[in-house]
Amino acid sequence: MADNINVLDSDGNVVKKATRDAGATIGHIDKVSIMDSANVDAIGAVTAAPVANTLLGRIKAIQDLVTGVGPSTLFAAVTPSDSTDVTPTTGKRIYVGGSGNLTMQGSNGTAATFAVTAGQILPITAKRIMATGTTATGIVILS
């Protein structure tokens, strides 16, 4: 099986196209470009915001989805309630404005109390922020 390899100069211009057999080496290469079928960079630059349709862009999107690290586009202040679920229901993080205890119910119905500090962001999806046991203030759901 052969690999197609583009050797690039420091400006990103292709200076050599090579094919190598699996296991073979072609010497020192400063930068390798992996191109897709449309001859577009398939890996992407290593930046804080890689291009969406590159491998790194897709990996970052998956990481943001799993960890909830991406920027919040929806947010809503929460009034703790023992009977009302939070909205938006897609919230992946909870911001706490004032220190105290935060009692939350998960999607399985189990409640837990967390000691939180002012300005803390919890990477948690909560079904409900309970009034009973919650003393923290300034609670905002981020999605």
Give the domain ranges of the chain.
2-67, 75-142
Instruction: Tell me the C-alpha distance between 42 and 29, whole Å.
Output: 18
Quickly count: other Cβ atoms within 10 Å of residue 84's Cβ. Answer: 12
Contacts 24+ apart (CB under 8 A), 10-18: none
Instruction: Tell me the C-alpha distance between 68 and 93, whole Å.
Output: 7
Is 16 in contact with 22 (CB distance < 8 Å)?
no
* Percentage with pLDDT > 70 across the chain: 52
- The two counts, helices (H) then strands (E), for the chain are 1, 10
Instruction: Tell me the C-alpha distance between 59 and 15, whole Å.
Output: 29
Question: How high is the pLDDT of residue 86?
Answer: 86
Question: How high is the pLDDT of residue 124?
Answer: 85
Task: Tell me the per-residue pLDDT of 15-73, one tens digit each, with 9 for 90 and over.
Answer: 665 555 555 555 544 455 566 666 666 665 555 566 666 777 777 677 666 665 666 77
Q: What value does the mean pLDDT of the chain take?
A: 75
